[in-house]
Chains A and B, each alone.
Chain A
Amino acid sequence: MLELLVAICLSLALIVYALTGGADFGGGMWDLLARGPRAARQREAIADAIGPIWEANHVWLILVVVLLFAGFPSGFAAIMTALNIPVTVMLIGIVLRGSAFVFRKYDSRADEVQRRWSTVFGAASFFTPLFQGVIVGALATGQIRVVNGHVGSGFFAAWLTPFALGCGVFALGLFAFLAATYLTVDTRDQPDLQDDFRRRALLSGLLLGPVAGAVFLTSKLGAPELFHGLTRWWAPLLLGLTSVFAIGALVALWRRRFAAARIAAIGQVTLILVGWSLSQYPDIVTPDVTIGNAHAPDVTLRLLLLALGAGALVLFPSLAFLFHIFKGRRTASATE
């Protein structure tokens, strides 16, 4: 019971990370893809939107890791061993993205210098979430085998499969869509930029459908347990609801109801990830590591939940304060 609660918290933290930190990566993707006469202003709008919040959003990932190694230590050890290579690549991406973003802000304003940092920032914003998707996808393939606490499937199993790579691409699409949708709200005082991001949101939102379909199809062979989960009784219900949000987001974007579009997009991504978590339940690494066999002793789980509760009491008001200051409705221009 306790382990289930910790696992739920872990899933929630991962979902919030996707919704916040994921969207910051999406911002970096649109930075790299900035084109046209307003490219510089697009970049500026992206930097203003993520500047004050990306450090905080990143901490959700730390929380995920900490909950994983404190709550499910043997699961953490197995994942870090079997997926050592993609995790290492993801970390290099995290270092490059964060550093390049802050270096760009404090380095010379010269175009050449700015462009160099933008390229590093943008490129890392692509391959970091790609590998994050690959890592999460690999867990469900069933190809990572753990026998007597030792990874028996080597260091290349699971993450080089079409299914895992498809998950990586899907993560890219999700984050790009989220970022573009959020940016339509962030640029409400600049209608031309808002239009740019509206087009990008519509485009990435539309592409998301076929990518999701492809991932679902590859899961039949590539992640049979997950596929099985996705065809359980509740799945059509969840799929229907997700579709309502997805279509709602696109319609709202089309009709320029950007605040509503943001809510619908958040709902859509949340439901996708909830569905994912439910299909994966009770596995952490399919099929050998489960919530049931990898969890820490009850005393640790109880303390973790206590810490989560107490932490939440401080965390959520602080987050509300942060988002109120920088994302609340006001017209003052963002400055340092």
Chain B
Amino acid sequence: MNDFVFARSQMAMSLAFHIVFAALGIGMPLLMAIAEGLYLRTSQPVYLELSKRWSRGTAILFAVGAVSGTVLSFELGLLWPGFMEQAGAIIGMPFSLEGFAFFIEAIFIGVYLYGWDRLSPLVHWLSGVVVAVSGTLSGILVVTANAWMNSPAGFKVVDGRFTETDPIAAMLNPASFHEVLHMTLAAFVAAGFAVAAVHAFFVLRDRHSLFHRSALAIALAVGCVSIPLQILSGDLSSRAVGRLQPAKLAAMEALYHTQAGAPVLIGGVPNDARRTTDYAIHIPRGLSFLLTADPDARVVGLDEFSESDWPNVRVVHWSFDIMVASGTLMLALALWSGWLWSRRKRLADQPWLLRALVAAGPLGFVAIEAGWVVTEVGRQPWIIYGVTRTTEAVTPMPWLVVPFIAFTGLYVVLAFIVVFLLRRLFLETPGRVTEPSPDSGRA
């Protein structure tokens, strides 16, 4: 392997690691704030206990998210100095605003975690709300910078030089809205289902645990409200990608040939040499219909582009299918839960639903990782879509295998420790709030 491959691998690995913590850093403060808000309204101690417990997990996740995010901001220059030299002035705007949003988040997470005894309950809860809002905002701002790489705007290239910089137009580029919406909802979906899985596991062991039932109810509610919206935003996103990055869409759908009445291909093995996708399930005219509502519409295939401008079709297509499958499974679970809820059933008495929820715990994160593979691998071979190739932006630094191995090793170890500590936290289930209470809700 050469240094370019190691640079891409290190960037991919760093993002894949950070995004888990970033998504939880957006989702967990929301859960915390909901739990503490319920405590303020109902005065039930279980909600206070819950927000404290979740806040301790959040402290660990936030710290690792903050340091891995710091690594990424430097890696932009360590690995892609050519990119930063061109893009720094254009996309610096969302990053500097993100700096302030992150500042506010870091300040108020300190206030929240260490301020239980020093603030009035209302001010403490408001600090948690500020963490949730600023965390979401900083995620939104970073995603606009990524959207710019996929749909560059706000500059002109004259003789190889970037001129007429317009950072506001760059920030509000055509991909910003759908990417931001999709990623923000993804964070809520992933955090909701992952936390629900943990508490569903404990409810299965002890269905009278008020603590875990309340936790399950809040997390599942967040996940179940977000997932249908997420499916809709996914539909919006794929139509936008079809408009802005037709080569990426063609790779996502493994569509080699431009055609009217294009089918949806599910699974299968894309074959670049023969330009066919073998063994796939076909839904005739499905793609044309999904993209335009007209089953006979013409959809651009990969054959419209020079093969040197194709992303890796297999990786993109399979990742796309994994993301969609994960989303669909979570939607099914949400519908199942919602149906039981509407029939006034206690979810704690539904062992099969609980088991399914436990099994579905990682799906939100599977979808996030697969979705980012679609976005980033699908953008290749460009680092700025249609403008700069990734190979032109890489650092001249040799021996990139060394930092790649160092950071990979470091992150693997950190991941194990985080899982170990979170497990430790969950196993200390509080005993004093487990008595069933007649008016404790239906979770």
Q: Which A residues are closer than 8 A to B by beta carbons?
A: 51-53, 55-56, 58-59, 61-63, 65-67, 69-74, 76-81, 84, 87-88, 91-92, 94-99, 101-103, 105-108, 149-151, 155, 296-297, 299-300, 303-304, 307-308, 310-311, 314-315, 318-319, 321-322, 325-326, 332, 334-336
Nearest CB of chain A from residue B73's CB, rounded to whole Å: 5
On whether the beta carbons of A155 and B397 are closer than 8 Å, the reply is: yes
Total number of residue pairs linking A and B with CB closer than 8 Å: 214
On whether the beta carbons of B93 and A304 are closer than 8 Å, the reply is: yes
On whether the beta carbons of B97 and A311 are closer than 8 Å, the reply is: yes
On whether the beta carbons of B60 and A319 are closer than 8 Å, the reply is: no
Closest Cβ neighbor of B398 among chain A residues: A155
On whether the beta carbons of B114 and A76 are closer than 8 Å, the reply is: no
User: How many Å lie between the Cα of A84 and that of B6 in the bound state?
Assistant: 15
Q: Which B residues are closer than 8 A to A by beta carbons?
A: 56, 59-60, 62-64, 66-71, 73-74, 76-78, 81-82, 84-93, 95-100, 102-104, 106-111, 113-119, 163, 165-168, 395-398, 403, 406-407, 410, 414, 417, 421, 424-425
Most chain A CB within a 10 A radius of its CB, from B67, B117, B163: B67
On whether the beta carbons of B63 and A52 are closer than 8 Å, the reply is: no
Q: Which one, A84, A296, A314, contacts B88 given CB within 8 A?
A: A296
Nearest CB of chain B from residue A55's CB, rounded to whole Å: 4
Residues of A with C-beta under 8 A to B119: 325
Residues of A with C-beta under 8 A to B86: 73
Most chain B CB within a 10 A radius of its CB, from A65, A101, A308: A65
Extra contacts besides A66-B99, A73-B89, A73-B92 (5): CB < 8 Å: A95-B71, A103-B60, A106-B59, A106-B60, A304-B92
User: How many Å lie between the Cα of A91 and that of B79 in the bound state?
Assistant: 13
User: How many Å lie between the Cα of A131 and that of B59 in the bound state?
Assistant: 27
Nearest CB of chain A from residue B104's CB, rounded to whole Å: 6
Residues of B with C-beta under 8 A to A326: 110, 114, 118
On whether the beta carbons of A80 and B115 are closer than 8 Å, the reply is: no
Residues of B with C-beta under 8 A to A311: 96-97, 99-100, 103
Q: Which one, B60, B77, B116, B168, contacts A102 given CB within 8 A?
A: B60
User: How many Å lie between the Cα of A6 and that of B183 in the bound state?
Assistant: 32
Nearest CB of chain A from residue B404's CB, rounded to whole Å: 11
5 A-B pairs with the lowest CB-CB distances in the bound complex, closest first = A70-B92, A73-B88, A80-B77, A296-B89, A311-B100
On whether the beta carbons of A105 and B59 are closer than 8 Å, the reply is: yes
Can you offer 15 A-B residue contacts whose CB atoms are under 8 A?
A51-B114, A52-B115, A58-B106, A65-B74, A66-B92, A66-B96, A69-B92, A73-B92, A81-B396, A98-B64, A103-B417, A106-B421, A300-B89, A311-B103, A318-B107
